[in-house]
A and B are shown apart, each in its own frame.
Chain A
Amino acid sequence: MSILFCSLVYLFLFLPIGVIVVNSFNATTTKPYQTWKGFTFDWYGKLFDNSTLLNAFGTTMAIALISTLLSTAIGTIAAVGMYKYKFKGKNVIDGLLYIPVVIPEIVLGISLLTLFSNTHIPRGMLTLVLAHTTFAIPYVIFNVRARLSGYDNSIEEASLDLGANRITTFFHITLPVLAPGIGGGALLAFTLSIDDVIVSYFTNGQVKTFPLKVMESIKSGVAPDVNALSTLILIGTILLVVLTQSNLFKKKK
């Protein structure tokens, strides 16, 4: 009974992915590409001729990498700083951190659009990176913070007492202890970035990320090569996460 119930839930979760994977092998060439016309591998080949699609994918990856690096760096040192030091206005920073997490993404999107438009920052790669970094920072901080609770400050003091400076101590003592939290936060930042639709939709200018490319193609029917690329991305992320997660689990032990 409970196995049946859980299986139905998993079926629900994976059903549309099954549709995507199956459609990536669909031999149909007529819009909206939904009628099954037989099996083919062609779309996986044609995918590599579709330069706009590949460019969109490259853009998505570049934005995800840069915003992950930025948000992980800023978020990690901020989490450590907020944990170690008491200062006025800490509550304000905390309050601001919760905003991107709880507020509907569309509000974050239009508020950034309003900012960029009023300050005449041209929308494109730069604004996408700024926007993605903004929504990722709180997730990095929360993940690192979860790791910090119960963190023993005395090992840092020992390091300082033994003559190491603050920077050496940070890189050799603090960072290794926090690695799983940082890794988890970075992974979350990366996945949020590659999947982001709403915030990108308002901050992209002429630049098309992969999700925005999909959005554009939905009106006329999503072509099988988009399904093929999605299938490849899914396989890629599964591999990436299996590799990184197994490392994280090892470090936890």
Chain B
Amino acid sequence: MAKMTKHRFRSNTLPAVTMVGPVTLWLAFFVAIPLLYVLVMSFCSLDSGYNVVFQFTLANYQRLLDPNYVQIYLSSILVAFLTTVICVAIGYPFSFLIARTQSKHKALLYMLVIIPFWTNSLIRIYGWRSFLGANGPLNQFLMNAGLASRPIQFLFNRGTTVLGMVYCLFPFMVLPLYTAIEKLDQSLLEASADLGAKKAATFVKVIIPLTMSGIFSGSIMVFIPSLGYFFVADILGGGNSDVIGNLIERQFQSGNNWPLGAALSIILILITLLLVKIYQKLGGDMDSLGV
């Protein structure tokens, strides 16, 4: 028997290596090493010609405390928070309705949430800008209806940035919520009703706790990306409501200060790690973030 086990172990080594080897190498080269580069770069200096030189400095981290930057971090976190709250507030009842509908078009209702995302996200965000713009349909309508005498400036503030973020990230809230709500055991709800609980009590004491996992994974999938979606803040916020992603993007493109951009990215990584840790503490399943 012992011999058998040893034989099986030996014969499994080659297939295990051939199957898991490629992904290991890939992740090492294109995920782990690049992030190490970013970490190292965040401690590097710039020479007079804006070239990155490997000379240790904490200056990039000191610059992160610049009040102008701190203001943007706070504004970005506020945008992320508002986006998440709005996505839960709209997404929860919406997911509940489509997950528990008796309609035979249930699958279609679900697909209709995903279909918009097959059109390029930039152009859809631009669609919002056209819609809300000075010459856009909304202003045309308001002026024709006599509700406005000249075009109203809807665009380029924190509100429109949040609108764009909610728009881009809404499905990432709905999908985990839908999964969690669909898994709800009908008999538990009936038991709650049989035992005399009112609908509201059943909702708060049974339904919400059982679907909390969906709320958690949805919130993670909405909050974190919204810190980085610089193009939404560009197109709909017009520079008046930047997110942390805008700061990073500028350092790597026009600003040409990669070490500072790297240090800013480290902040974003730390926020992500912190939120993921909290998510795991609350019992969140990592795999449900990716399906």
- Which of B127-135, B183-191, B195-203 sits within the interface? B127-135
**Contact flags (1/0) for A85-107 with B, using CB distance below 8 Å?**
10101000110111111111111
Q: A186 — which chain B residues lie within 8 A by C-beta?
A: none
Assess whether A145 is in contact with B287, with CB atoms less than 8 Å apart. Answer: yes
Q: Are B22 and A111 in contact (CB under 8 A)?
A: no
Indicate if the CB atoms of B123 and A222 lie closer than 8 Å.
yes
Cβ distance B220 to chain A, nearest Cβ, rounded Å: 7
Q: Are the CB atoms of A215 and B122 closer together than 8 Å?
A: yes
Task: Given A96-B27, A115-B37, A218-B122, decide whether A34 and B130 contact each other with a Cβ distance below 8 A.
Answer: yes
What residues of chain A lie closer than 8 Å to B41, measured between beta carbons? 114
Question: A107–B120 contact, CB under 8 A?
Answer: no
Q: Is the CB of A218 within 8 A of B235?
A: yes
* Total chain B interface residues with beta-carbon distance under 8 A: 79
- Residues in A108-129 with C-beta less than 8 Å from chain B: 108, 110-115, 118
Q: Give the contacting residue for B26; candidates A9, A87, A133; CB below 8 A.
A: A133
Q: Which residues of B contact A107 (CB under 8 A)?
A: 35, 38, 228, 248, 265, 268-269, 272
A2-B12 Cα distance, complex, nearest whole Å? 55
Chain B stretch 212-259: residues in CB contact (< 8 A) with chain A: 220, 224-225, 227-231, 235, 245, 248-249, 252, 258
Q: Is the CB of A166 within 8 A of B15?
A: yes
Report whether A74 and B248 are in contact in the complex, using a CB–CB cutoff of 8 Å: no
A72 to B199, CA, bound (A): 46
B289 beta carbon closer than 8 Å to chain A: yes
A75, B18: Cα distance in complex, Å: 12
Given contacts A82-B20, A215-B231, contact A197 B122 (CB under 8 A): yes
Check if B141 is an interface residue, CB within 8 A of chain A.
no
Residues of B within 8 A of A134 (CB): 26, 30-31
Contact present for A5 and B97 (CB under 8 Å): yes
Q: Are B269 and A35 closer than 8 Å at their CB atoms?
A: no
A162 → chain B closest CB, angstroms: 17
Contacts A104-B225, A107-B38, A114-B262 supplied; 9 other A-B pairs, CB < 8 Å: A16-B127, A16-B130, A16-B131, A77-B23, A80-B19, A85-B19, A111-B37, A133-B26, A238-B118
12 sample A-B contacts, Cβ–Cβ < 8 Å, listed by A number? A6-B109, A15-B127, A15-B131, A74-B26, A77-B18, A84-B16, A98-B289, A102-B276, A106-B228, A106-B248, A106-B249, A107-B272
